[in-house]
Amino acid sequence: MVDAWIAMVMGLLIFAGSLLSVEAGISVALIEIVLGVVAGNLLSVHTTPWIDYLAGFGSIVLTFLAGAEVDTDVLRDQFRASLVIGGLSFMLPFLGAWGMVLWVLHWAPEAAKIAGVALSTTSLAVVYAVLVETGLTNRPIGKLIMASTFITDFGTAAALSIMFVRPTPWIFVFLLASAVIVLIVPYLQPWFFRRYGSRVIEPEIKGAFAALLVLMYFARLAESHAVLPAFVLGLAVSRIFAAHRPEQQRFRVVAFAMLTPFFFIKAGMNVALPAVYANLGALAFLFAVKIATKFAGILPAARRYVPAHAVYTTLLMSTGLTFGTISSLYGLQAGIIDGGQFSLLITTVILSAVIPTIIAQRWFDPRRVGLGADTSGTRLLEAAPVREGGK
């Protein structure tokens, strides 16, 4: 009965989140995070193994879809821009947060490293969800932001692995399985779509889910995470998805209707309000450090490459959730940080997902500038004009 009650509450929250998102004009991902905080702290809803798994799978599906939305031609043409923006988006917050937490909050050295990793992230899940809802995924500015976010999260994953994760024999199996899937799936996709596409039973979606579940399984064996391989797989099949827009739309419907809400609501449920209330000063400090270092790293580069949308790019890339949660949870489970430090990091990460996104949507939305008739000298739009159908 407990599981049935939790499932009922989750279903009502997911439905309420979609209505509130429409009425408030705010991304549903942010509404779901806030509802998760309410559910965990006021409604006494707790997570379960099936919620944990659905939330994990939802984050992987979101990351895969984000990769599938990237136009590889734009990525190639704007590789330098995404490398500079994404690299600075990781490096300055990582070093800045690590040093400030160590010297000002006087956390233990290893705990300070975890804080640096957790606060350096940009959430592919949040960025992709917002870009989809605003219709920017098929625009060059949206594709540059997603590509830059991938660079940031690659740096975060590499830092976490190099500094903390102990390699096991399974890590090589995981890398091999990831390489095989990334190479084979795009090769088989054209034949698969011709043979099994456009059917009500949706073999294309089921095949993609199967590949992602395989990645998740081997990632678990290796005590790693499947986010980056999932993004690379999405990137590898992006041209095929661009040529089959109806299938891509149906994939989105399944993901946003059923899977991704569990990820965002569970993220909010991780916040312990009593622990946060007892450390409001430290929370404000951590949030300020993350936002300040993100702006210091991203804004100058964004002004160079996308001057018309530099602030929007900076705000959206200041968000954190997926890898911030993963890094914080790893630190807690490994005994590197305690429960209070975990709640502070998680809350900071969630605030960074909510506040910059709301500001970006309310006051710096590129649609209000006018993407089709930009006269401010945006180099990205000049270098990579939007092609018909997003192809």
Percent of the chain at pLDDT exceeding 90: 30
Structure confidence at residue 1 (pLDDT): 59
Specify the residue for token string 């995470």.
225
Structure confidence at residue 376 (pLDDT): 38
| 374 close to 308: Cβ distance less than 8 angstroms | yes
Backbone angles phi, psi at 374, to 5 degrees: -80, 120
- Helix 227-236 × helix 49-69 angle, to 10°: 40
Mean pLDDT of the chain: 83
First-to-final CA distance of the chain: 49
DSSP structure class, residue 122: -
The pLDDT-based confidence of 14 (bands split at 50, 70, 90) is very high
Mean pLDDT of 362-380: 58
Pick the CATH number of 2-386 from 1.10.10.10, 1.20.1530.20, 1.10.260.40, 1.10.287.610: 1.20.1530.20
The pLDDT-based confidence of 197 (bands split at 50, 70, 90) is low
Structure confidence at residue 300 (pLDDT): 95
Residue 325 has pLDDT above 50, yes or no: yes
Residue 375 has pLDDT above 60, yes or no: no
Lowest mean pLDDT among 56-60, 131-135, 153-157, 201-205: 201-205
* Six token digits for residue 360: 């970006």
Most confident region among 185-189, 214-218, 349-353 by mean pLDDT: 214-218
Query: Of 344, 314, 375, 11, which is closest to residue 152 (Cα–Cα)?
Result: 314
Entry pTM: 0.74
| 125 close to 315: Cβ distance less than 8 angstroms | no
Residue 13 has pLDDT above 50, yes or no: yes
Structure confidence at residue 113 (pLDDT): 94
Structure confidence at residue 298 (pLDDT): 96
Query: Of 80, 225, 246, which is closest to residue 157 (Cα–Cα)?
Result: 225
Domain residue ranges in the chain: 2-386
Structure confidence at residue 16 (pLDDT): 92
Kindly report the CA angle at 302 between 299 and 304, in degrees rounded to 5?
A: 115
Residue 388 has pLDDT above 50, yes or no: no
Mean pLDDT of 67-75: 72
